[in-house]
Structure 1
Amino acid sequence: MTGTADEPGHEGAPAVPESAAWLKGELLEIASALYPDRRPVVVREWTDPVRLRDPAPVGHRFLFLVCAGRDDHLSSPGFDDALNAFDAAGWNLHRRTSDHPGESAATVRREDFEARIHEGKGPGILSFTGWTPVVYTEGRLGQPPFTRSTSRGVLCADCHGWGVCMICEGRPYSGGSGGYGRCWCAANNAGPGRCIECAGQGLLTPEEASWKRRRYGLSDDDSGDAFPRAAAEGGHDSNTSAFIDVSHRSCACGEFRCFWRNNLSRVDGHLLSRFAGTCQGCAAQRAYVFTLPLA
């Protein structure tokens, strides 16, 4: 992963630490145990840079997206089997109610490591997205509330998701003689120590995200389900192949980070694979559709 360039101006993450190598191996081991007759695929691996006031990152979170299986094989292991496998490996399970009928989702945690398990409809792709705690380059800071890949929105451009003022670093007073100079972040009803731009939430408001989408000429539709809105493409012989393709495409805003959902169905003698997700750089609804050959 050394030398990657996941963001404009990001010159690459440091060498993969032992913690990230362990997580990647753990996800692959669990997926291999579920599907001993097929090799799990590391669809993408990347980092989330963590910043304070300066543009240069002070740390990185390492992430891995693994496709475990489910290419229209109803009898193969699925979501519940995956949960049992993580449980047996010592992970704590947190099953979530999916917002979309027919899909299943859960998060698992082991010490400071987390992973998101998702199975699409139809049966759609069964995927594991795992991430490490933030690894800092110098010293040790606290863990941020979230980073771009793990947030449920778009990070605030001023506080980079921390939710606090970057001048006083969350304290109500900063500078001056003895440190008693009042920080400007206490104004505008933001409250002492909180970021004014996002009022301490760490995320862009819906209005700001909407403005950002319009800036890139993107639709401002917030329906939350983009499945029906894309023309079908060909060129893939499996759902896994389509998933790899989609996971390496970027939004018009330049961001590739997107939590993909999958819906697999039979239509007019072929399989139709739909992918939908929300861009984590501008909150645009993204969608792709592929025709696949019947097995």
Structure 2
Amino acid sequence: MSESGGAMDEVFSEHPGTPESAVWLKGQLLRIASALYPDRRPVVVREWTDPVRLRDPEPVGHRFLFLVCAGGDDRPSSPGFDDVLHAFTAEGWTTHRRSSDHPGESRAQARREDFEVRVYEGSGPGLLTFTGWTPVVYTGRQSGRPRFTLSTVRGVLCDDCHGWGVCLLCGGRAYSGGSGGYGRCVCAGNNAGPGRCVECGGSGALTAKATSWVRKRYGLPDPDGTGSFPQVPAEGGYDSGTSALVAVSERPCACGEFRCFWRNRLTDADDRTLALFAGICQGCAAQRAYAFELPRRRLAADQVEDLP
């Protein structure tokens, strides 16, 4: 992986070169968010692309992604999470609610054909966000679909197979060509299994041992594994959790990568309101955390989240 993974993204806007799939997905996310919060304007926090590579450094295609903040700074006027999923199904999406390891947080996956959306709602009450991605748009000959791209893998993308999960020497067939006919590929006789990527064992993501080495290269510690929000100094100057999320989404990790699965919590602590963000970098799997002091707002007693 490049030492400046964040430089790989190509921020785009709607222009004649933008594919119809990206325009359609963006419109869907904004439509659903507007239906949930008719009195608010949803915010496109960030839009970017993931490169899709085979063996050569030059990308063969891209996947287009959007992070949309639908709202949620004040839960009393917010819909329930079931209503959020119903809004997707009303637009023709299939939804699957996923269990959360973190109390007060909700998450789900929505699919429609080859489009996918990660739906997340923070605790305390936190923000409601949609992260959507298109199918891969190829610049030349149509290829298959990689298991993951930089923004969709839960971990760090394998830098050997680029998320495909197969050996790129044989294309997953376990046989390679030669003057003497077809011979067995090197990937057929090791623990990865026939046709699978040797580096990641077919998962498409680096192993925990490999990502630990990446973090050490940048002088970063391993995550504590507790899933809690680390206590960090609070920053000021933001009027809402949404504006804080916009700021967080633009900040790269020490490894240079901006892609991160951000969790969120809104909490009352020490007579002030804090918006907390925590996530695992998708470039090196380092733990990242930020805290922002917001204008004082009294949360309902049953919504208060105590800091760990």
Fold shared, TM-score > 0.5 on shorter chain: yes
Paired with 1:280 and 1:24, the residues of 2 have a C-alpha distance of 23
The superposition leaves residues 139-187 of structure 1 with CA deviations (integer Å, 9 ceiling, x where unpaired) of 1111111112111111111111111111111112112136413322224
- Of 26, 32, 35, the residue aligned with 2:34 is 32
Are the aligned partners of 2:230 and 2:278 in contact in 1 as well (CA < 8 Å)? no
CA-to-partner distance for each residue in 1:112-163, whole Å, 9 max, x for gaps?
Answer: 1110111100110000111111111111111111112111111111111111
Q: Return the alpha-carbon distance in structure 1 between the equivalents of residues 244 and 130 of structure 2.
A: 16
Alpha-carbon distance in 1 for matches of 2:83, 2:11 = 36
Cα distance in 2, alignment partners of residues 198 and 181 from structure 1: 23
TM-score (norm 2): 0.89
- Residues 226 and 287, structure 1, Cα contact 8 Å, conserved in 2: no
Q: Could you tell me which residue of structure 2 aligns to residue 137 of structure 1? A: 139
Check if 1:77 corresponds to 2:76: no
Q: 2:159 aligns with which of 152, 157, 160?
A: 157
C-alpha spacing 1:202/1:73, structure 2 compared with 1 (3 Å) = closer
- Equivalent position of 2:111 in the other structure: 109
Following superposition of structure 1 onto structure 2, how do residues 8-47 of structure 1 map, counting pairs within 5 Å? 8=7, 15-47=17-49
1:48 counterpart = 2:50: yes
- Give the Cα separation in 2 of the matches to 1:12 and 1:83: 28
CA distance in 2, matches of 1:37, 1:196: 52
Q: State which drifts further: 265-274 or 233-242.
A: 265-274
Give yes or no for the alignment of 1:283 onto 2:282: no
Count of residue pairs the alignment pairs up: 291
3-state DSSP of counterpart to 1:149: coil
CA shift, 1:78, in A, is 4.0
Contact 1:91 1:110 in 2 (8 A): yes
Q: What is the alpha-carbon distance in structure 1 between the residues aligned to residue 262 and residue 189 of structure 2?
A: 39
> Residues 229 and 187 of structure 1: is their aligned pair in 2 closer, same or farther, counting only changes over 3 Å?
farther
Which one-letter code corresponds to 1:8 in the other structure?
A
2:183 is matched with 181
Cα distance in 1 between the residues matched to 2:53 and 2:228: 32
- 2:95 maps to a residue whose letter is L
Offset at 1:225?
A: 2.1
- Aligned AA (1:31): A
Residues 95-127 of structure 1: CA distance to partner in whole angstroms, max 9, x if unpaired?
111111000111111111110111100110000
Farther off after superposition, 178-187 or 124-133: 178-187
After TM superposition, give the deviation of residue 234 of structure 1 in Å.
1.0
Aligned-pair Cα RMSD in Å: 1.9
Looking at structure 1, the residues matched to 217 and 228 of structure 2 have their Cα atoms a distance apart, in angstroms, of 20
- Residue aligning to 1:201: 203
Structure 1 Cα separation of the partners of residues 252 and 226 of structure 2: 19
Give yes or no for contact 1:274–1:287 (8 Å, CA) kept in 2.
Answer: yes
Q: Which amino acid aligns with 2:42?
A: P
Superposition TM-score, scaled by structure 1 size? 0.93
Counterpart of 2:235?
233
Is contact 1:6–1:47 with CA below 8 Å preserved after alignment? no
Give the match for residue 293 of structure 1: 295
Task: Give the gaps of 5 or more residues in structure 1.
Answer: none
C-alpha contact (below 8 Å) 1:72/1:122 kept by paired residues: no
1:118 — aligned with what? 120
Q: Which is bigger in relative contact order (C-alpha 8 A, separation at least 6)? A: 2
CA distance in 2, matches of 1:168, 1:274: 46
Aligned equivalents of 1:221, 1:7: Cα separation in 2: 21
Q: Which residue of 2 aligns with 1:266?
A: 268
Name the counterpart of 2:225. 223
